[in-house]
Every structure is written in C-alpha cells, then in structure tokens.
Amino acid sequence: MIEDIINIARKAGDIMKNAERPKITEKAGHANFCTETDEKIQAFLIENLQEVLPEAQFLGEEDGQDEFTAKMEKGYCFVLDPIDGTSNFIYEYRPSVVSIGLLKDGKPHMAVIYNPFDDMMLSAQAGQGAYMNGERIMSTEAPLSDSLVVFGTAPYYAGLQERTFEIAKKILPLCVDLRRSGTAAWDMCCVALGRCALYFEMRVQLWDYAAAALIAQEAGCTITDIDGKPLEFRGPTSALCRARGIKEIPECFF
C-alpha cells in the first residue's frame, strides 16, 4: 500500500509543480491562504486514495473537511495537506510539499511527504524506518552547538509570536544559526534528514504533522509538544522535534 500512496503523492506533486499562478482566497486568520490548486490536489488525493483503501476516512485542510471527530480514532483515516507551504507556493518561494498521513486507530501508521521541486519523496511505516527516495535516513547525532535549528512562526496566531521569538532569541547563541522554511511538514523532514537538529513551533494543525512526525520518529527523532508531552494526533498542538543528538529539551523552552 505504501507504494500506491507514494505514486499518488508524486502525481499530486506534478499538479503542484505544473500549476499556473493560482487564484487566491483567504481563510480565517492573518495570511491564511487557500488556492484553487490546494483544492484541486486535495480532491485528487481523496479520489485516488479511496481506491487504495476504500474503508478509510479523510481529514483534509481544505473544503470543510478539517474537523477531527471521535469516529476517526477507529480504523483508518488519511490526514491530508495538499500543499503544506501555501504562501510559499503563491510567492514561488520553495519548498511546498504534499503531505499524506495515515492513522490507524488514531495512531500514525504510514506517511508520505513529497517535495516536487527537488523530487524528494520521504516515506515511513510505523516500526519500519524512514526513507528518502528509497534510501534509509536517520537524524543527526551532532550536538546543538554544531547544528542548525528550524522553527515556524505560527503566523495565523498573533498571540503566540512573542513566545516564539523569545525562544528563537534564546536558542540562537546555542546553535549554528536559525532557519525558517514556511512549511512545518518539511521542517520536520529536515530534522529527519539530518539537515537540522531541532524544530519547534507554537501551533501546528494535525495535517501539518500527521505524516512528518512519523517520518521524523522513524528517523530516530523525539517528537513532543513544547512542554515535552507526547503528541496525541487529535488536533492542533505545539510541536518540538529533536534529532538523536539532542537528548534533553533545551532550557530556553521552559
């Protein structure tokens, strides 16, 4: 089944990469955009994934299919972000990715994230490791002092920005430098790939992390909320992803 999901993600990525400049609509919240391409890709994903796993339910960012319900804790549920990094996509600032997570009884089961602009396909199955274009990946064992840190600004939630940048200011002297990509899913993938040692964001939605958290975990990362509590995979949360070399949560988070 994972190969079927990978093939569907690749085709969805082709839609994204070949799309013309999109028509933009704005959802609730500052800079919270949706494009025709988001909606087109989500419809494509649902149509094709239904053929792979007909009994599965769907949770997607677009088209009003964004409410997690108790019945999604039983059986299979695909969690979709057709374009994670919509603002990047609008402004042609790379990357943007297709994210497909599959929950089984409310727990991460399979994950596929595709960056079509760099042709990077990341995938994972619970207990079976994480892969990029078929090659096994593991997070870095380097200490924070020899590593990059990547973070998200939770731009739709103005009340969280002060703490976000307070942490960023405190962690900057402890690492090589900070990065901000504009896509939470890809940020966690960068930790899984060993490019960065730590990622944090004060608020992410389930479709942002359902796939990426499994990929990172299977690459040896530790995934929690900002306070160190396990993710529940039910809805929005803060997120902290640490590579193998970061054994403890840095004090600047407390």
User: Would you say residue 250 lies in a domain?
Assistant: no
Confidence (pLDDT) at 80: 97
Q: How confident is the model at residue 76 (pLDDT cuts 50, 70, 90)?
A: very high
User: Would you say residue 183 lies in a domain?
Assistant: yes
Confidence (pLDDT) at 93: 94
Q: Are residues 30 and 152 in the same domain?
A: no
DSSP letter at 159 equals G
Q: Are residues 164 and 123 in the same domain?
A: no
Q: Are residues 75 and 93 in the same domain?
A: yes
Confidence (pLDDT) at 11: 99
Q: Are residues 200 and 228 in the same domain?
A: yes
User: Would you say residue 154 lies in a domain?
Assistant: yes
Q: Which residues pair with 137 in a beta bridge?
A: 130
Confidence (pLDDT) at 65: 55
Interval 148-187: pLDDT, tens: 999 999 888 888 999 999 999 999 999 999 999 999 999 9
Q: What CATH number is associated with residue 7?
A: 3.30.540.10
Range of the domain at 78: 2-137
Q: Are residues 122 and 240 in the same domain?
A: no
Q: Give the pairing of strands 33-35 and 222-224.
A: unpaired
Interval 103-138: pLDDT, tens: 999 999 999 999 999 999 999 999 999 999 999 999
Q: Are residues 171 and 133 in the same domain?
A: no
Nearest to 188 by CA among 113, 104, 133, 100: 113
Structural domain tally of the chain? Answer: 2
Q: What does the pLDDT average to over 80-100?
A: 96
Q: Are residues 151 and 129 in the same domain?
A: no
